[in-house]
Chains A and B, each alone.
Chain A
Amino acid sequence: MTDTSPDTILEMRQIAKAFAGVQALKGVSFSCRAGQVHALVGENGAGKSTLMKILAGAYQPDSGEIIYKGRRYTSLSTREALDNGIRIIYQELNLLPYMTVAENIFLGREPRTGLGLIDTKKLYADAEAILQRLEMPLDVRQPVGELTVARQQMVEIAKALSQRADVIVMDEPSAILAGHELETLFSVVESLVRQGVAVIYISHRLDEVFRIANEVTVLKDGQVVGTHPIEALTRAQLIQMMVGRSLDEAFPHGQPRRGAPVLTVEGVTTAAVRDIHLTLHAGEIVGLAGLVGSGRTELARALFGADRLQSGTVWLNGEVVTLSSPAQAVDAGIALVPEDRKTQGLFMELPIRNNITLTVLDKLTRYGVIRRRAEAERVDQARRELAIAMASASAEVQYLSGGNQQKVVLSKWLARAPKVIILDEPTRGIDVGAKFEIYQLMRQLTEQGVAILMISSELTEILGMSDRILVMRDGRIVGELAREEATEERVMQLATTGSLLPATTELPGYTGSDA
């Protein structure tokens, strides 16, 4: 099946990998060639990172084989991957800000003099040579902390490439870059390709894929949807491949009962979002879609008073509200269920009880003393309403399952009877059963007149739950779709390009990489 052209340097055949019963990769075959950019695309959870971690030796595959430079491996160790010139550049930068560019590049492998001291002259000369080879316009003596993020990323790349590299995996390298910084990244990629390196480029942004990739492989649900030369695809076709069939996941039904406007936002601008206008009505769920880094979470933080507003006005129930701290937002009746419950939503080492009642302690006290019975009743009520499975309210929250932890976060806010609830990735890392319960709860809340703003990276969830969908890109709201007109393709188009293309054309049949 798979073609083996002479310059194919890496071939992964029928790779399968399961985690705790979840099949992350179901027989994925993937190959790449020297001097080419091969884009790997797919939604969150499609299996891209797992596949690349197997290549890096971080995971061992359950079955399948890797043929690299003509040698056959059933699995790679991290040592083997490194020694054979496989390099991965992760999204996060791991640099020491007060050290110079050269010191960062050679961290831990500094050239030594005969006396065992660091050979500074050689350090800088070698670093200079590497940067020259990669055509990176950096000053080797400048502290890394003074560089822009794009240039810091260059240092990270230079560090990875300071030793011989034949295959380079870039895991969403553009996620941390602003639009104008992309060109810098592209020129680095182009110079790598000229030197005969095989580049595997993971990205959500289709513009980039079309700009720099020679080939593209689409992964979905742990399987390859197809591999094609980039010229053979249109943007619309690629989007449809990524989104694929819609999962028949059950979402609870509910009649939207759109009431009066509750929250009105006009011209809100912060460091991360620009000129936001939106209105939330009582009883509706508004989905906020967009790629990672498009400003969704930052918008949520702004509406919750966690980030400073540079301009703009927010009305709540017809009155202007000042949102300069979360405490003010809470008092005004806004709640935020943050995206990362472990670091932003819960006190993992405190008892379940304390987590649930923390936001309503003022209502449970008499003469400033917490009434134990009132508190126990509140905890019991939360447990019944949300069906939180716990052995004892004194147990620390960290021992609960993901779904139950999320219910604790929700109950913490529901106790305050908020008018507006912002949910940031409400079902991330939660099993299917608990997901459904959370969807049901969202419906119940809207029936009580609560307005919900739901941020989600799962398109099925956005489409299944939202009465209306707002799409963000580069810190702006670029489009609004009514429930009836929303499709996965349309949301993806808005999120990746910022506008809607004409209706998609019929696709030719996709069967592996015979194109």
Chain B
Amino acid sequence: MTTVAAAPATTETRWRFFRRNAPYLIVYALILVIAVFGTLSSERFLTDRNLLNVFRQTAFLGTIALGQTLVILTGGIDLSVGSLVKLSVLVSAILMNGESSNMGVAIAATLGLGVLVGFIHGLLITRLNVPPFVVTLGSYSILYGIALTITTNPIGRAAPEMLRFYDLRIGPIYAPTIVFIILLVALSFVLRRTTFGRYIYAVGGNEQVARLSGIPVKRVKFGVYILCSLLASLTGLFWLSRMGIGDPVIGDGLELQTITAAILGGTSLFGGRGSLWGTLGGALLLSLTANVLVVLNVNQWIQQLIQGAIILTAVALYKQKSR
């Protein structure tokens, strides 16, 4: 006698499916609502040019949000990503100094900086048992301080190839968007199909059980913090290619935006639940909303207000569906 492999589609299992996936359904429904609203209110919204631009902006926020999601899935948080982006832009611009010949070294050094920062986070969190919130709050401030000690004015210059990267297209799609999509697909695969990915959910789901199951909890944490910082320094390089210069105003507020994207995408702040596709939805929703408001010439303070309202609406809806 073999048991049935698939669950019968009773109302209960259907309801359960809906409940489990409610955040994704809601975030993509909200995207649709905003898109329809944008289309109806302005002719400039539904154009190739505008949409491709929105996707490119999503790549900037989304790349770090991927790392942030991995960290949050383990039950942690990384408040330092904004400052790290800022410092990465400056370091890469200074080292590159407009010369193609410096580009390799500058990119390697910038990404190396990310790995180093993530490694230090891992060290403090796993060896000294300092809560991630405190560790990354500290490094947020330290990296911010270093960046503004280096300069308060734009500094350095991107190499010409670097500048071209921002506007480079493959088919109709901009290069940063493509890099982001590759990262999204690859990391999703890692989460779902590799030991490391399974361990991430396990650590966030219940650290005690994970430890008692013989999972190398510390190594998993090292992994996610290093990945998150690495993605932040990569985003610093994106910004350099966009600005062409090391501008110290870049990166402000990114930590909160990435956390927002993850939450909108249904990732639980307690860890163990969520997905990168949800985070994509969250990042898209944020950049789409910002775009519609810009297209409609709404001033940026009102933009902040509206974004806050969206976050509260979305999360209130999730809570409704998950009870």
B308 at the interface (CB under 8 A from A): no
Nearest CB of chain A from residue B12's CB, rounded to whole Å: 10
Residue-wise, chain A 344-375 has the 8 Å CB interface mask toward B (1 for contact) of 11111110001001110110010011101000
B201: contacting residue among A345, A350, A372, CB under 8 A: A350
Which residues of chain B (1-55) have a CB below 8 Å from chain A? 3-8, 13
Considering the complex, give the chain A residue whose CB is closest to the CB of B268. A349
A129 at the interface (CB under 8 A from B): no
B202: contacting residue among A325, A329, A358, CB under 8 A: A358
B206 at the interface (CB under 8 A from A): yes
Contact B214 A331 (CB under 8 A): yes
Nearest CB of chain A from residue B190's CB, rounded to whole Å: 9
Given A347-B202, A391-B4, also A326-B273 (CB < 8 A): no
Contact B209 A370 (CB under 8 A): no
Bound-complex Cα distance A389 to B6 (A):
13
A330 at the interface (CB under 8 A from B): yes
Residue-wise, chain A 371-400 has the 8 Å CB interface mask toward B (1 for contact) of 010000000000100000101100100000
Given A343-B208, A349-B272, also A359-B213 (CB < 8 A): yes
Which residues of chain A (305-339) have a CB below 8 Å from chain B? 306, 325-327, 329-331, 336, 338
B319 at the interface (CB under 8 A from A): no
Chain A contact residues (Cβ within 8 angstroms of B): what range?
35 or more
Residues of A within 8 A of B210 (CB): 347
Contact A347 B211 (CB under 8 A): no
Interface stretch among B80-88, B164-172, B191-199, B232-240? Answer: B191-199
Nearest CB of chain A from residue B18's CB, rounded to whole Å: 14
Considering the complex, give the chain A residue whose CB is closest to the CB of B195. A361
Residues of A within 8 A of B216 (CB): 327
Contact B195 A350 (CB under 8 A): no
A412 at the interface (CB under 8 A from B): yes
Bound-complex Cα distance A137 to B48 (A):
79
Contact B193 A336 (CB under 8 A): no
Residues of A within 8 A of B5 (CB): 392
Residues of A within 8 A of B193 (CB): 369-370, 372
B272: contacting residue among A326, A344, A347, CB under 8 A: A347
Bound-complex Cα distance A412 to B13 (A):
25
Contact B214 A343 (CB under 8 A): no
B194: contacting residue among A325, A349, A368, A412, CB under 8 A: A368
Contact A343 B7 (CB under 8 A): no
Extra contacts, 6 of them, besides A345-B209, A392-B5, A395-B7 (Cβ < 8 A), are A306-B211, A347-B201, A347-B209, A347-B272, A349-B205, A370-B194
Cβ contacts A to B, 29 pairs, < 8 Å: A304-B212, A306-B211, A306-B212, A326-B213, A326-B214, A330-B214, A346-B209, A347-B201, A347-B205, A347-B206, A348-B205, A348-B206, A349-B205, A349-B272, A350-B205, A350-B272, A358-B198, A358-B202, A361-B195, A365-B194, A365-B195, A368-B194, A369-B194, A370-B195, A370-B198, A372-B193, A392-B5, A395-B7, A412-B213
